Amino acid sequence: MEAAFETLENLFYEKILLYQDLVECLKRERNSLMKTDIDGLWEISDEKQSIISRIETVRGNILAAMSQASIDHGMNVSLFRLANVFSLIPRVHRARFKKAYLFLLSLKGEIEQRSRENKLFIEESLNFLDELIGIISGADKPGPVYNNDRCLTSQPHANLLLHKEV
Protein backbone atom coordinates (compact mmCIF):
# COMPACT_ATOMS: atom_id res chain seq x y z
CA MET A 1 0.00 0.00 0.00
CA GLU A 2 2.81 2.42 0.89
CA ALA A 3 4.50 1.57 -2.42
CA ALA A 4 1.37 2.69 -4.28
CA PHE A 5 1.46 6.09 -2.55
CA GLU A 6 5.16 6.42 -3.30
CA THR A 7 4.44 5.66 -6.96
CA LEU A 8 1.61 8.18 -6.91
CA GLU A 9 3.89 10.84 -5.46
CA ASN A 10 6.54 10.15 -8.12
CA LEU A 11 3.86 10.46 -10.81
CA PHE A 12 2.85 13.86 -9.44
CA TYR A 13 6.46 15.02 -9.78
CA GLU A 14 6.72 13.50 -13.25
CA LYS A 15 3.64 15.49 -14.22
CA ILE A 16 5.30 18.65 -12.84
CA LEU A 17 8.29 18.06 -15.11
CA LEU A 18 6.03 17.60 -18.12
CA TYR A 19 4.09 20.78 -17.29
CA GLN A 20 7.39 22.67 -17.00
CA ASP A 21 8.37 21.35 -20.44
CA LEU A 22 5.04 22.56 -21.79
CA VAL A 23 5.62 26.03 -20.31
CA GLU A 24 9.01 26.16 -22.03
CA CYS A 25 7.38 25.13 -25.33
CA LEU A 26 4.86 27.94 -25.00
CA LYS A 27 7.68 30.43 -24.33
CA ARG A 28 9.52 29.25 -27.44
CA GLU A 29 6.25 29.34 -29.38
CA ARG A 30 5.82 33.02 -28.47
CA ASN A 31 9.35 33.78 -29.71
CA SER A 32 8.70 31.90 -32.94
CA LEU A 33 5.44 33.78 -33.42
CA MET A 34 7.22 37.10 -32.98
CA LYS A 35 9.91 36.05 -35.48
CA THR A 36 7.33 34.47 -37.82
CA ASP A 37 9.38 31.26 -37.77
CA ILE A 38 6.96 28.81 -39.37
CA ASP A 39 9.39 25.87 -39.30
CA GLY A 40 10.03 26.48 -35.60
CA LEU A 41 6.29 26.61 -34.95
CA TRP A 42 5.79 23.22 -36.61
CA GLU A 43 8.57 21.71 -34.49
CA ILE A 44 7.10 23.20 -31.32
CA SER A 45 3.65 21.94 -32.27
CA ASP A 46 5.01 18.40 -32.63
CA GLU A 47 6.82 18.72 -29.31
CA LYS A 48 3.67 19.99 -27.56
CA GLN A 49 1.68 17.04 -28.94
CA SER A 50 4.33 14.65 -27.62
CA ILE A 51 4.25 16.27 -24.16
CA ILE A 52 0.44 16.19 -24.07
CA SER A 53 0.51 12.51 -24.97
CA ARG A 54 2.97 11.83 -22.15
CA ILE A 55 0.81 13.83 -19.72
CA GLU A 56 -2.17 11.64 -20.64
CA THR A 57 -0.04 8.56 -20.02
CA VAL A 58 0.90 9.90 -16.57
CA ARG A 59 -2.77 10.55 -15.86
CA GLY A 60 -3.53 6.92 -16.65
CA ASN A 61 -0.66 5.82 -14.42
CA ILE A 62 -1.95 8.02 -11.58
CA LEU A 63 -5.37 6.42 -11.86
CA ALA A 64 -3.78 2.96 -11.91
CA ALA A 65 -1.72 3.80 -8.80
CA MET A 66 -4.87 5.03 -7.06
CA SER A 67 -6.61 1.76 -7.89
CA GLN A 68 -3.58 -0.12 -6.59
CA ALA A 69 -3.84 1.89 -3.35
CA SER A 70 -7.50 0.79 -3.11
CA ILE A 71 -8.83 4.30 -3.76
CA ASP A 72 -12.12 4.19 -5.63
CA HIS A 73 -11.89 7.12 -8.06
CA GLY A 74 -14.44 6.36 -10.79
CA MET A 75 -12.41 8.34 -13.35
CA ASN A 76 -10.81 7.54 -16.65
CA VAL A 77 -8.12 9.52 -18.46
CA SER A 78 -10.63 11.75 -20.27
CA LEU A 79 -12.44 12.58 -17.00
CA PHE A 80 -9.24 13.12 -15.02
CA ARG A 81 -9.36 16.04 -12.58
CA LEU A 82 -6.36 16.68 -10.37
CA ALA A 83 -8.54 18.30 -7.70
CA ASN A 84 -10.62 15.10 -7.50
CA VAL A 85 -7.48 12.97 -7.27
CA PHE A 86 -6.09 15.11 -4.46
CA SER A 87 -9.39 15.06 -2.55
CA LEU A 88 -9.54 11.25 -2.74
CA ILE A 89 -6.09 10.75 -1.23
CA PRO A 90 -6.52 9.76 2.44
CA ARG A 91 -5.77 12.58 4.88
CA VAL A 92 -2.95 10.55 6.40
CA HIS A 93 -1.03 10.73 3.08
CA ARG A 94 -2.34 14.04 1.75
CA ALA A 95 0.36 16.23 3.34
CA ARG A 96 3.11 14.72 1.20
CA PHE A 97 1.14 15.53 -1.97
CA LYS A 98 0.08 19.07 -1.09
CA LYS A 99 3.22 20.87 -2.28
CA ALA A 100 3.25 19.00 -5.60
CA TYR A 101 -0.49 19.56 -6.03
CA LEU A 102 -0.22 23.32 -5.46
CA PHE A 103 2.77 23.55 -7.80
CA LEU A 104 0.84 21.66 -10.48
CA LEU A 105 -2.06 24.11 -10.11
CA SER A 106 0.36 27.01 -10.46
CA LEU A 107 1.94 25.53 -13.59
CA LYS A 108 -1.46 24.76 -15.07
CA GLY A 109 -2.48 28.40 -14.57
CA GLU A 110 0.72 29.60 -16.24
CA ILE A 111 0.14 27.23 -19.17
CA GLU A 112 -3.40 28.52 -19.63
CA GLN A 113 -2.22 32.14 -19.44
CA ARG A 114 0.61 31.67 -21.94
CA SER A 115 -1.68 29.75 -24.28
CA ARG A 116 -4.25 32.58 -24.18
CA GLU A 117 -1.52 35.17 -24.80
CA ASN A 118 -0.20 33.25 -27.80
CA LYS A 119 -3.69 32.85 -29.27
CA LEU A 120 -4.38 36.56 -28.76
CA PHE A 121 -1.07 37.44 -30.43
CA ILE A 122 -2.00 35.29 -33.43
CA GLU A 123 -5.47 36.84 -33.67
CA GLU A 124 -4.13 40.39 -33.45
CA SER A 125 -1.46 39.65 -36.06
CA LEU A 126 -4.01 38.17 -38.44
CA ASN A 127 -6.37 41.12 -37.92
CA PHE A 128 -3.51 43.52 -38.64
CA LEU A 129 -2.61 41.66 -41.82
CA ASP A 130 -6.26 41.59 -42.86
CA GLU A 131 -6.55 45.34 -42.40
CA LEU A 132 -3.26 45.95 -44.17
CA ILE A 133 -4.25 43.84 -47.15
CA GLY A 134 -7.63 45.58 -47.22
CA ILE A 135 -5.94 48.98 -47.31
CA ILE A 136 -3.47 47.94 -49.99
CA SER A 137 -6.13 46.37 -52.16
CA GLY A 138 -8.53 49.25 -51.60
CA ALA A 139 -11.29 46.99 -50.31
CA ASP A 140 -12.44 49.71 -47.93
CA LYS A 141 -12.82 52.26 -50.77
CA PRO A 142 -15.06 52.30 -53.82
CA GLY A 143 -13.43 50.73 -56.83
CA PRO A 144 -11.91 52.81 -59.61
CA VAL A 145 -13.94 53.67 -62.64
CA TYR A 146 -12.27 53.36 -66.04
CA ASN A 147 -13.10 55.59 -69.00
CA ASN A 148 -11.05 55.41 -72.19
CA ASP A 149 -8.11 53.70 -70.45
CA ARG A 150 -8.05 56.37 -67.75
CA CYS A 151 -8.56 55.59 -64.10
CA LEU A 152 -11.08 57.93 -62.55
CA THR A 153 -11.59 57.90 -58.81
CA SER A 154 -14.37 59.43 -56.81
CA GLN A 155 -11.86 61.35 -54.72
CA PRO A 156 -9.69 64.09 -56.08
CA HIS A 157 -5.98 63.66 -55.35
CA ALA A 158 -6.39 59.99 -54.50
CA ASN A 159 -3.29 57.85 -54.50
CA LEU A 160 -3.52 56.12 -57.86
CA LEU A 161 -0.86 53.58 -56.90
CA LEU A 162 -3.36 51.81 -54.71
CA HIS A 163 -6.06 51.91 -57.40
CA LYS A 164 -4.12 50.73 -60.45
CA GLU A 165 -5.10 47.52 -62.04
CA VAL A 166 -2.23 45.14 -62.64
Model confidence over 15-43: pLDDT tens digits?
Answer: 999 999 999 999 999 999 999 888 999 99
C-beta of residue 111 within 8 angstroms of C-beta of residue 22? yes
Amino acid code (one letter) for 82: L
List the CATH number of the domain containing 106.
Answer: 1.20.58
Angstrom distance (rounded) from CA 51 to CA 15:
10
Q: What is the pLDDT of residues 108-162, one digit of tens each?
A: 999 999 999 999 998 888 888 888 887 787 665 655 555 566 655 555 544 444 4
Whether 164 is covered by a domain: the verdict is no
Whether 71 is covered by a domain: the verdict is yes
Instruction: Give me the domain span that covers residue 107.
Output: 2-141
pTM for the full predicted model: 0.74
Gyration radius of the chain's alpha carbons? 27
How many distinct structural domains can be found in the chain? 1
